[in-house]
Chain A
Amino acid sequence: MSDAPRTAGPPSGYPSGPPRALPDQLTGLSSPIIWGVLLLVAIETTLLALFVASYFYLWLGAATWPPPGVALPDLVRPTAAQLLLLASPLPVWLGLRALVRGQARPLLVGLPLGLALAAGYLLVNALEYAGRGYGWDTHVYGSLDWAMGGYAALHVTAVILAGATVWAFALRGHFHRGRYTGVQALLIYWAFVALGSLLFFAVQYLAGRW
């Protein structure tokens, strides 16, 4: 019974035939770096899920939600901010697709465009939070609300800083059709931040209206 399953079948990893050169630029799931970024996304997704679970746990324990005297925020500005953020990775994605085909220019344009959209999100959301009638220290609803806003702002800022760095590398000619793993990694994290923020948007602005 001992190790039968381990020896069954032909040995794998035995490519035969002529020598083949192994590439030293790996992309997608061949690249350990992409696996690293995916694991970072897994960690942060767990964090988001636990935060949302905590939100509903505290909501279930409350008599009224939001607390008396607090109105659900208006939808216009948050929706606009959310659309800006959701759109922000798209130009980078188009730039990456062009890069893979051999055109470097769309990425050089797409990155600043995406950064501007993400910065737009930060600006609109800052205006939104400036109009909140309560702080994080008013009640637990305020604590949750500001924590979600702060979490999203922190992550979008991180994406902007990382995106600006990738842009600087791109301007130096670092990326080309044979080397774009760095852009892939940025884009995966960027998409995660945009979608994670959408989850918070649903919890903050839609769940209470249901």
Chain B
Amino acid sequence: MTSEHEPAERPPTPSAPEEAFHEELSRIWAPPPGLLGFFTAVNHRVVGMRFMVTAFVFFLLAGLLAVAMRLQLTLPLLGVLSPEAYNQAFTMHGSTMMFLFVLPFVEGLGIYLVPLMIGAREMAFPRLNAFGYWIFLFAGVFLFIAYLSGHGPDSGWYNYPPLTGPGFRPGANIDFWVVLITFLEVSALVAAVEIIATILKHRAPGMSLNRMPVFVWALFITALMIVFAMPGLILTSLMLGLDRIVGTHFFNVAAGGDPFLWQHLFWFFGHPDVYIMLLPAIGAISMIIPTFARRPLAGYLPVVVSIVIVGILSFGVWVHHMYTVGLAMVGLNFFAAASMLITIPSAIWIFAWIITIWKGRLASLNTAMLFSLGFIVLFILGGITGIMIAAVPFNWQIHDTQFIVAHFHYTMVGGVVLPVFAAVYFWFPKFTGHFLDERLGKWHFWLFVIGFNLTFLLMHLTGIEGMPRRVYTYLPGLGWDWLNALSTAGALVMGAGVGVFVWNVLRSWRGGAPAGPDPWGGDSLEWATASPPRNYNFLRIPLVTGPHPVRDGVVRESKARPAWLEELTERPEGRRENIVTSVLAAEPEGRAVLPTPSPWPFWAAMALSVAFLGAVWTPWLVPVGLLLTFVALVGWHWPRDPERP
């Protein structure tokens, strides 16, 4: 890779003290070996990679469910899936994609990359990180066990009462959804707290907020949105769980409850959730495009401000999911206006990327760049239909049709999955030290994008022609046959694209062309260390003197480093240490001594799953599980010796 940036100079041959320092840090940060080590690992790169790989497995499972649904709809009156199986398939597909794939994947990407981008050795709370992963894993596995044992939830991913109330849907199916989704959100909140605290307190000295990479900004705002949006989902699913398990009446009209309360609380979470998933993608694209366009991002400030504005606006649009429930027109107008307002910051991002490409010198269209450009096109299409359905009268016409399915797949697949693929092609060399194969990558891109458009572009038409969503079949002669047949063909092409990707990852993980520390000429700190990074991330804590730490080349200059920084980074005294800096200017404040690997996060997650999952059988397991969790938390925090933290 040729680069217009300051060429990524190779680190000089290590001197003897350098080598000794490396040995010492390696010893301190080494993960525990063996099977026990697997359960006690806390390193952010291990946890981040586990999040991504696990989430991707759930993506594949949910994709198989989608293929099954498409096969059922290929022609009228097919019998591939029974109505009941179809209901479970679309519910599991939606719940898995939203809760078990997109959010955990982007969290994993953030957990892996944020410390590297801000020049930290580790995240603020390593054990909490591991705890969050175990919760995510248990919740996902239990949900699929419930599904495979015939207790799959079957009322759609947003699970509206009264359909899901105890009166209309007895049995354990919905119970599993309610307790496991609530449980899962604990994991999202844990990751959010972790990311915010790390970004605020562990940036390398000199990385003031206005020097933070856009990806870090995006993750920061995303995490803040999780903090304020997830409680809505937790509250409402707790209420539904109580209604179902102990007989409260929050959503029971006969006893004074109100099912619309569910819709308000669910979408108070649900719409910000869309942007919670989108913003990390925006951040990733804003790192990838400038790298290949060989110039800084045009409009760093407007892009970051737009991220913040979308974060705020997204809390004011939830009612646009509820236009048809009969709310007052004045209210609807407010929410319609707020929904349309979001196009302004979205347009700012798109113009910033276009200007960056235009004013830069795009060397080649490699796979990461292809996925980025594909994302821009599909995101614009999804945005345009978004403006259409933000208009109340149009919304009334196409509500609950395949048009809506097409719209949100353009925003979610176009807006999140394509950037996720772009990010994987871009950062895979950092994760593994090897490139993904470019030829397979282009096959992946074209199969996936052509298949996607074949499936979902046509679905707009199917929806306008009147086909509702969530029907397991339809009658012939309604004009929907050829549209559905082509959509199914498209889904299979898309699936083939994903298959190529899986093959590419498997063969490139160890066998791909070797990549150096900075294969693309990147400009953020993760490129200033080895690929894959050592256990301690950076031999020396970087000192940031400008917005382009790698291009400015100051990171590796040891002459300019003040003595206190040398002292800090070269005397770890056998402890895992992270530098702590001030919130705004990132001036050094102290050193945080981090906890060591521990099995307690695993046990705490096990104990908490007794409380949540147990509630399906008897509420009495809740206090038992909570007490066990307390015991595990005491073990987790027990000081190793009174004189050491």
Same complex:
yes
| Residues of chain A having any CB pair with chain B under 8 Å | 1-3, 5-7, 11-16, 18-26, 29-33, 35-36, 39-40, 42-44, 46-47, 50-51, 54, 57-58, 61-62, 67, 136-144, 146-147, 158, 161, 165, 169, 172-174, 179
**In the assembly, what is the distance between CA of A161 and CA of B562, in Å?**
45
B564 touches A6 (CB 8 A): no
**Cβ of B514 under 8 Å from chain A:** no
User: Closest A-chain residue to B634, C-beta based?
Assistant: A165
Contact among A21, A29, A43, A144 for B189, CB-based, below 8 A: A43
**In the assembly, what is the distance between CA of A142 and CA of B202, in Å?**
47
**Cβ of B134 under 8 Å from chain A:** no
B296 touches A16 (CB 8 A): no
Q: Which chain B residues numbered 383 to 418 have a C-beta less than 8 Å away from chain A?
A: none
Contact among B265, B296, B562, B581 for A19, CB-based, below 8 A: B562
A36-B645 contact, Cβ under 8 Å, with A12-B206, A46-B228, A165-B637: no
Closest 3 CB pairs of A and B: A13-B206, A143-B248, A6-B547
Q: Give the shortest distance, in Å, between A75 (CB) and chain B (any CB).
A: 24
A50 touches B247 (CB 8 A): no
A139-B256 contact, Cβ under 8 Å, with A11-B545, A26-B590, A169-B639: yes
B197 touches A36 (CB 8 A): yes
Q: Which chain B residues numbered 525 to 565 have a C-beta less than 8 Å away from chain A?
A: 543-547, 562-564
A22 touches B208 (CB 8 A): no
Which of chain B's residues have a CB closer than 8 A to the CB of A35?
124, 196-197, 200-201
A12 touches B567 (CB 8 A): no
A172 touches B642 (CB 8 A): yes
A-B contact count (CB 8 A): 200
**In the assembly, what is the distance between CA of A14 and CA of B441, in Å?**
44
Which of chain B's residues have a CB closer than 8 A to the CB of A30?
580, 582, 589-590
**In the assembly, what is the distance between CA of A22 and CA of B639, in Å?**
22
A43 touches B231 (CB 8 A): yes
Known: A25-B645, A40-B193, A142-B248; 8 extra A-B contacts, CB below 8 A, are A2-B296, A6-B547, A12-B585, A15-B588, A24-B645, A36-B128, A62-B256, A174-B639
A13-B231 contact, Cβ under 8 Å, with A5-B210, A19-B563: no
Q: List 22 A-B contacts (CB under 8 A).
A: A2-B297, A3-B297, A6-B301, A7-B547, A13-B206, A13-B208, A13-B544, A22-B579, A24-B577, A39-B192, A43-B189, A46-B232, A54-B235, A136-B248, A139-B256, A140-B248, A140-B249, A143-B242, A143-B248, A143-B249, A144-B250, A165-B634
Q: Give the shortest distance, in Å, between B236 (CB) and chain A (any CB).
A: 8
A14 touches B231 (CB 8 A): no
Q: Give the shortest distance, in Å, between A128 (CB) and chain B (any CB).
A: 19
**In the assembly, what is the distance between CA of A176 and CA of B365, in Å?**
60
User: Closest A-chain residue to B579, C-beta based?
Assistant: A22
| Residues of chain B having any CB pair with chain A under 8 Å | 124-125, 128, 189, 192-193, 196-198, 200-202, 205-208, 210-211, 227-228, 230-232, 234-235, 239, 242, 246-250, 252, 255-258, 261, 264-265, 268, 295-301, 543-547, 562-564, 566-568, 577, 579-583, 585-593, 630, 634, 637, 639, 642, 645
Which of chain A's residues have a CB closer than 8 A to the CB of B645?
24-25, 179
A12-B124 contact, Cβ under 8 Å, with A54-B265, A165-B634: no
Which of chain A's residues have a CB closer than 8 A to the CB of B196?
35, 39
**In the assembly, what is the distance between CA of A145 and CA of B205, in Å?**
50
A46 touches B206 (CB 8 A): no
Q: Give the shortest distance, in Å, between A167 (CB) and chain B (any CB).
A: 12
A26-B261 contact, Cβ under 8 Å, with A13-B207, A39-B196: no
A13-B249 contact, Cβ under 8 Å, with A46-B231, A143-B257: no
Interface of B is mostly: mixed
User: Closest B-chain residue to A39, C-beta based?
Assistant: B193
A54-B261 contact, Cβ under 8 Å, with A13-B543, A15-B587: yes
**In the assembly, what is the distance between CA of A47 and CA of B230, in Å?**
9
A12 touches B563 (CB 8 A): no
**In the assembly, what is the distance between CA of A141 and CA of B124, in Å?**
42
Which of chain A's residues have a CB closer than 8 A to the CB of B248?
136-137, 140, 142-143, 146-147
A24-B250 contact, Cβ under 8 Å, with A12-B586, A15-B588, A18-B563: no
A50 touches B257 (CB 8 A): no
**In the assembly, what is the distance between CA of A47 and CA of B232, in Å?**
7
**In the assembly, what is the distance between CA of A169 and CA of B645, in Å?**
11
A140 touches B252 (CB 8 A): yes
A51-B235 contact, Cβ under 8 Å, with A137-B248, A140-B257: yes
A173 touches B562 (CB 8 A): no
**In the assembly, what is the distance between CA of A6 and CA of B125, in Å?**
29
Q: Give the shortest distance, in Å, between B268 (CB) and chain A (any CB).
A: 7
Contact among A15, A57, A142 for B261, CB-based, below 8 A: A57
Which of chain A's residues have a CB closer than 8 A to the CB of B256?
58, 61-62, 67, 139-141
Contact among A13, A22, A51, A169 for B586, CB-based, below 8 A: A13
Q: Give the shortest distance, in Å, between B160 (CB) and chain A (any CB).
A: 16
**In the assembly, what is the distance between CA of A54 and CA of B248, in Å?**
14
**In the assembly, what is the distance between CA of A29 and CA of B201, in Å?**
9
Which of chain A's residues have a CB closer than 8 A to the CB of B586?
12-13
Which of chain A's residues have a CB closer than 8 A to the CB of B545?
11, 14
Q: Give the shortest distance, in Å, between B627 (CB) and chain A (any CB).
A: 9
A43 touches B230 (CB 8 A): yes
B247 touches A137 (CB 8 A): yes
**In the assembly, what is the distance between CA of A84 and CA of B210, in Å?**
47
Which of chain B's residues have a CB closer than 8 A to the CB of A147?
239, 242, 248
User: Closest B-chain residue to A42, C-beta based?
Assistant: B227
Contact among B198, B208, B264 for A57, CB-based, below 8 A: B264
Contact among B125, B249, B301, B630 for A36, CB-based, below 8 A: B125
User: Closest B-chain residue to A144, C-beta based?
Assistant: B250
**In the assembly, what is the distance between CA of A172 and CA of B249, in Å?**
48
Contact among B255, B297, B581 for A13, CB-based, below 8 A: B581
User: Closest A-chain residue to B268, C-beta based?
Assistant: A50
User: Closest A-chain residue to B255, C-beta based?
Assistant: A139
A12 touches B587 (CB 8 A): yes
Which of chain B's residues have a CB closer than 8 A to the CB of A62?
256
